[in-house]
Structures are given as structure tokens and as C-alpha cells.
Chains A and B, each alone.
Chain A
Amino acid sequence: MVTIDIETEDGRREALRRMLTIRAFDSTASDYFADGEIPGFVHLYIGEEAVGTGACAALEDQDYITSTHRGHGHCIAKGLDPKYMMAELFGKRDGYCNGKGGSMHIADVDAGMLGANGIVGAGPPLATGAALTAQQKGEDRIALAFFGDGAVAQGQVHEAINLAATWDLPAVFLVENNQFGEGTPVDLQHNVQALSETAEAYDIPGFTIDGMDITAVYEAVGQARERAASGDGPTFIEAETYRYRGHFEGDPQPYRDDDDVARWRERDPIETFKDRLVDRGELTEEEYEALREEAESTIEEAVDYARNAEDPAPAEAYDDMFAVPVPEIEQFADRMRADGGTR
């Protein structure tokens, strides 16, 4: 169950658990990437947990999301199993993508997760398309595109929003303004003061919210979902948040001021939400510690599972290209592997 009600005590506790699971997943991924056990590139969501969690909590289970380079948090928020996610990071057959996608491409279309994406700005057109299917079929589902501040400079993002606005598609465009587009601060990439100002160009609602506050995200996305589902078209939301880590793990981050990190950390989305629940008497520090440990052990189990899972067989590299396989792939593979001699 992806949907939770943050208006209820159980819902709030579940939201906190989800944010802690995301942080544990990404902290762990960071460690194993540093150790060399996880290949490729890894882009972490630490610091941005309130956005993915708050947004997905406000969606219905049948809704679609599209994601970004930084997709682990969106996956967990959408209800994907960290075990198969970690197996994918380790390149194992039991990973969500059978080891073909890795960190940047985790997807589970049946769960409404249309893929993390290695191309900045490629997700919004896909969300527009998923919303188009919903409208064509008269289904009660919407599509939400997560994308970063960097993607707001990409032309196809604007084409996707224009299309969705023109056709009143059930879509939500949610910018995670984490202050950096790859290695360049956001104010060096955009002239507008608030990215949400771009909504005016499409005559759709647009507003900027505090992305460190899960309640603010939940409420904004809830309203946007309602508008989308009732046929009034898309909403553009900018959630101001902060990327604690580099663009990718190993990024030397010459563009970052350490004071900034400290300042944003004072507004940490998990800590502040926890404090609020403690203040309200809904949670004790001990219970919080127990939730945190539970999240960490969930991820440790995921790592155990991933480590012990099987590698794909080399020949599986040739699977999954087409629904109806073409003869070329097998024939070329066979020819490449042949030892020579007279044919």
C-alpha cells in the first residue's frame, strides 16, 4: 500500500518509517559503492526524503510516477521492495531489472514506477504519456513526474507540460529543487527567482513549497492530484529541498559551500518531522530509535539478499530486447562466439 494518510497518527508514523528507510538505503548504497561492491554510478537522495515520501503518500496505488537519476527514494516511496532494488544495484538477476538497469534505471511498471532515468528531463514526457493513457481509457489514475531543477532548462520538459496543459491531462509536475543541476548551482542555470513561475506560461497553477516539510509536500500533491483526477489538468509544484551528497558518489563538489550544508541540515526533513511528532506526544525518542533501527535492519537484510543473489548468466545479455525476438541477436551472438575454422 503506497497511499497513507498523514492526517492520522499511523500515517505519520508510516511516513517517518519510509523516510528512514530511504535514508538507510542510500547511506548503505554509499558505503558499498565506496567499497567497490556496487558498480557504475550512484546518485543519492539523502536530504530530499520528504519530497518523494510526501508526494507518493498523496497518490493512489494505481497512479504512475516517473523519476530521475536520483530515483531510490522515489522507488521506496512508491512501495518498491528494497531487497530487489539492492539486488539491482549489485547487478544481480533478481534485481528489478534482471541486472540490466542498475541504480539509474530501476523500474516496476506494474507498481506504477515508470523508471528512474539517466537523461535529465526525459521523465515529464513519459508522465504526460501515462496521463494520456489514463484519459483515453477513462481510468482513475494520474501520473506524477519527479524532476530536478536542472531539468527545468530542458526543452522537452516544457513540451510535456504544454501538451498536458493543452489536453487537460491528469498529470502533476513536481520539481525537486535541490539547489544544484549536476555540478552547477541553480541560480547559475535559471533566470527566474522561483522555478514555479514557469507555470504561468501554461496557464496552470504553480507554487513553491518547503520540500523539507513532508506535510507541505503531502498537502500540495494531494490538491494537485485532486485537480488532475477531476479533469482540470496539471499542476506545477516546486519543492525546495537540498541534496546533502554530491551529484554522484565520488563527486569532489568544488561548487559547494560547507556552511550551506550545515544550514540545510538544521532543517533536516526526518529530524524536524520526528521532533514535531515527539512534541505532539505521538512518538518517544525510544520509539524513534526503534524505527530507525528497523529501517537499518531492513536495508541490511536487503544487502544480504543482494550479495547472495545470483549473477545473471552472460547469455542473458541478449534477452529482453523485443516482445517477439528477432533472429539477428542470437545469430550475431553465435557468430561472435564461434571459434573459426572453415564454415
Chain B
Amino acid sequence: MSTETQTSYDPDQTTTMTMREAIRQALREELDRDEDVFLMGEDVGHFGGVLDVTDGLYDEFGDTRVRDTPISEAGFMGAGVGAAATGSRPVVEIMFSDFLGVSMEQVMNQMAKMRYMFGGKTEMPITVRTTEGGGMGAASQHSGTVHTWFAHFPGLLAVTPGTPAAAKGLLKTAIRSDDPVFFFENKMTYEQQGEVPTDEEFTIPLGEANVEREGEDVTVVATQRLVGESLSAADELDGDVSLEVIDLRSLYPLDTDTLVESLNKTGRMVVADESPLSYGVHSEVVARVMENAFFSIDAPIERVGVPDTHIPFSPALEGEVLPDAADVRRAVQRIT
């Protein structure tokens, strides 16, 4: 898929940074680049973000560009929608994705539908950032992975970076997009390090997956934290089974071509995503390859995710439900 935000950049100029720094850099660059961009959310200003992502931006850009909101997700999500419809480019932060439910009317019936219902006579350039995922012992109301709801709902775009570079490039594209984009950050990836292009014009088109590691035997389609886990699994299995690891990056639109191309090569696929297993990203990936590459499939496609539970508090329980490299490895071994 082509987007008007696609620009050329120098891929050789990179710096090592964490996912958190990559996201912050994307926000800083876009705040600098376009006066219509502003951030708002709970504790994003003074406090610097509850997980430190927006740290420093309030001091750099001031309280009109980085706005601390009252604790009222429906109110400020709706204000973001109204602002986007009238010429602003708000970046709304929902502190934990579990709180998105509080704002859902404005997401479902206003943000997602206004452009269509108005016959295309408004744009909706809003970005919603939120954190997902378990692993911190934060229990069920601060650990969910809800991105499939938004990938499923017509009128919204949904992306999930698996690497720091993807985080920077996708977030910049999201902010420049005239459509509503949900940007899902897995909280356990904030410390993950990687090489990130420093060029301010580095953007990644929405709707493109990325082959992080080439392989011959099994395609692992992974998202967020599970990209790293799948790369670890690939290392462990190296010499025995050759894994091709794809960072899906964009949940909607979904890059069917890259998935099909990889499956045509390997004939086998594992889909690894931290959302509950039923009716989710996993199922959509499977359906797409069934529709487009059925005769290339040599073995049942395996799913790795959360077995339809909420995320429990006790580390002894949380570790049980959260998928990791070992789950990916076992899934590969079941089909090879």
C-alpha cells in the first residue's frame, strides 16, 4: 500500500536506542515539524508519562502542545476527535489500553464513522497511543492486549511495532496520516534496543510487514514483544529448523503479500501475538493465507497467544498465560 507520507531517507545513519527513546524521538520530531500536532492524555506532561515515554516533552514544548488532561477518557478522546475534524493533529495517549473501553463511544461512533457518514467531507488525522501487554504483575485491568478490537472495527487503522525502528517509523507515519491510527506499544518492549534511523524523514508505510530474519522452513508471523521472542526461538533452533521471522507491524491494513510470499517459500506458518487466541489477529492472518495461498500450506498453521484468559496478577500465574520463545519453539516443533 502506498501512502503519501512515504519519503526517502538515509538508511545508513542510525543510532542504537530503546523502543521508549524511539517513540519519544518520533513524538519530538513531529511536534517540531508541524504546529498542528499536540499531545494530550493523563500524566503525559508534568509527570512525563506513567511509563516515562513522554518525559521531557512538556519542558521542551510547553503546556499547550503537551496537555495534561483530567482523568476522563471519553471526554478527551472526544475532544481529540473534534480537534482532528477541525484541523488539528492530536496524539491522544490512553495510559493503559484497558482504559480504552471508557472512551469507546467516541472511538466507535465518532472517530471511526465520521468520514464515511459525512460522505468523505472531513478528515480524521488523530493518533491514539496506548500501552498493552502483561509481564509487570499489573493484573487484569492494566495488562490487556486489545488491538484486535481496533483492527476489526471499520474506519480505524492499527499498528504494533516489534522493533525500535518500526516504532519510530510507524509512529511518524501515523501522526502524518489523515486517517485515525491506533498505535499499540507493548510495555515490556520499552527497554528493547535496536538500530534506529536518525533521519527525520524516516517513516514506514502503513500496511507493510517486515522480514526481520530470513529462513527456509517455517514462517513465524509475530507482533510486538513476540518478534524478539521469535528471533530468540530462531537462534535456539538454528541448524535444526530454519525460521523466517516477520514483524507484522501493521494489523490493519494487513500485508497479505509478504505473508503469502513467505508461506510460498516455507510451506509452514506460526502466528504469534499476545492477544487472546479466539477471533483475533491470529485468525485473520490464517484466513488471509488460506484465501491466497491455500495450495502452499504443507502443515496446519499454529497459533501462539493468550489462551482466552485475562492476565492474572501472581507471577506464577502470569508466566503461565503469557506466550514466549518457548511457546513459539513448541509450535514450530509441532509442525516440523
Interface residues of A (CB under 8 A from B): 64, 66, 95-101, 105, 107-110, 114-115, 117-119, 122, 124-137, 143, 155-156, 158-160, 162-163, 166-167, 319-324, 326-328, 335
Contacts and interface: CB of A to CB of B under 8 A. Distances in A.
Contacts of B87: 133, 137
B179 A324 contact: yes
Given A326-B252, A328-B252, A320 B120 contact: yes
Given A105-B117, A323-B179, A324-B4, 11 more contacts: A101-B118, A114-B86, A126-B78, A128-B79, A131-B82, A132-B88, A133-B86, A160-B79, A167-B67, A322-B115, A324-B2
A132 B79 contact: yes
A136 B154 CA distance: 30
A81 B132 CA distance: 46
A114 B85 CA distance: 8
Contacts of B74: 125, 155-156, 159
Contacts of A136: 36, 38, 64, 83, 88
Contacts of A127: 82
A320 B116 contact: yes
Contact of A163 (B1, B75, B117): B75
B102 to A, nearest CB: 9
A337 to B, nearest CB: 15
Interface string B59-95: 0000010010110101111111111111110100000
B119 A125 contact: no
B3 interface: yes
Nearest to A109: B122
B180 to A, nearest CB: 9
Contact of B155 (A96, A101, A321): A321
A125 B178 contact: no
Nearest to A160: B75
21 contacts: A95-B119, A96-B118, A97-B119, A101-B117, A101-B118, A114-B82, A115-B117, A117-B110, A125-B78, A129-B90, A130-B83, A135-B64, A136-B64, A143-B82, A160-B78, A321-B155, A323-B177, A324-B2, A324-B179, A324-B206, A326-B157
A319 B120 contact: yes
Contacts of A328: 252-254
A126 B82 contact: yes
Contacts of A326: 1, 157, 207, 252-253
A327 B253 contact: yes
B53 interface: no
A97 B118 contact: yes
Contacts of B36: 136-137
Interface of B: 1-4, 36, 38, 64, 67, 69-70, 72, 74-88, 90, 105-106, 109-110, 114-123, 154-155, 157, 177-179, 206-207, 252-254, 291
Contacts of B70: 159, 162-163, 166
A21 B66 CA distance: 45
Contact of B82 (A108, A129, A321): A129
Contacts of A162: 70, 72, 75
> Would you list the 9 A-B pairs with minimal beta carbon distance, nearest first?
A129-B82, A125-B78, A159-B75, A98-B119, A126-B82, A323-B178, A320-B120, A159-B72, A97-B119
A163 B72 contact: yes
A118 B88 CA distance: 24
Contacts of B115: 320-323
Nearest to B115: A320
Interface centre among B74, B81, B252 (most CB of A within 10 A): B74
B186 to A, nearest CB: 24
Contacts of A117: 110
A130 B85 contact: yes
Contacts of B252: 326, 328
Nearest to A64: B86
Nearest to B119: A98
Contact of B81 (A126, A143, A321, A323): A126
Nearest to B79: A129
A129 B114 CA distance: 14
Contacts of B119: 95-101, 320
Contact of A122 (B80, B84, B105): B105
A119 B81 CA distance: 15
